[in-house]
């Protein structure tokens, strides 16, 4: 199930990249991929949920959960490179920060059962410069 989840997420990100020739637009739209889970019954990302319980997962499932993060970070790094937003040595760190911030915003919004919390956090990331405005 975790493998299928990250594979579906990778396909969603690939489709986002294919739909837009503008990497800045891709970065702006990236949080929407996490927002969709909140829109569907205030859910959170399966792999984020499982990562929080990684001590109780088998090694095989843990690797699949980690693959979800790796797919997101690799995609963000690619888009950051295309957008020429961060220097090469900063891209992976920035990609990890974006992934962690967006996943964290989803978790906080879920705990409040309030999607506007998610939207507010994403906007604060844009104001702070983590995501493009």
Asked, for residue 113, whether it belongs to a domain, the answer is yes
Structural domain including 58 reads: 2-128
User: Nearest Cα to 118, choosing from 49, 37, 46, 53?
Assistant: 37
The domain spanning residue 36 has which CATH number? 1.10.357.10
Q: Does the residue 34 lie in any domain?
A: yes
- 71 within domain boundaries: yes
User: What are the C-alpha distances in Å from 54 to residues 95, 114, 128?
Assistant: 22, 26, 31
Q: The pTM is what? A: 0.89
Q: Is 51 within the bounds of a domain? A: yes
Residue 30 included in any domain: yes
pLDDT of residue 52: 64
* Local mean pLDDT, 10-residue blocks, the chain (133 residues): 79 92 93 91 67 71 82 95 92 96 94 95 97 90
Domain assignment present for residue 133? The answer is no
Domain count, the chain: 1
| pLDDT for res 41 | 83
Given this model, what pLDDT does residue 44 score? 65
- Please state, as a whole number, how many other Cβ atoms lie within 10 Å of the Cβ of residue 10: 17
Kindly state whether residue 43 falls inside one of the protein's structural domains. Answer: yes
């Amino acid at each position: 199930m975790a493998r299928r989840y990250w594979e579906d997420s990778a396909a969603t990100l690939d489709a986002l990249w294919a739909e837009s020739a503008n990497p800045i637009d891709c970065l702006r739209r990236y949080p929407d991929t996490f927002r969709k889970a909140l829109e569907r019954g205030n859910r959170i990302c399966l792999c984020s949920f499982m990562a929080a319980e990684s001590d109780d997962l088998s090694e095989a499932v843990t690797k699949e959960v980690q693959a979800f993060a790796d797919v997101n970070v690799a995609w963000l790094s690619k888009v950051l490179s295309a957008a020429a937003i961060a220097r090469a040595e900063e891209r992976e760190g920035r990609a990890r920060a974006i992934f962690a911030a967006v996943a964290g915003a989803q978790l906080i919004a879920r705990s409040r059962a309030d999607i506007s919390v998610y939207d507010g956090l994403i906007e604060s990331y844009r104001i702070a410069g983590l995501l493009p405005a």
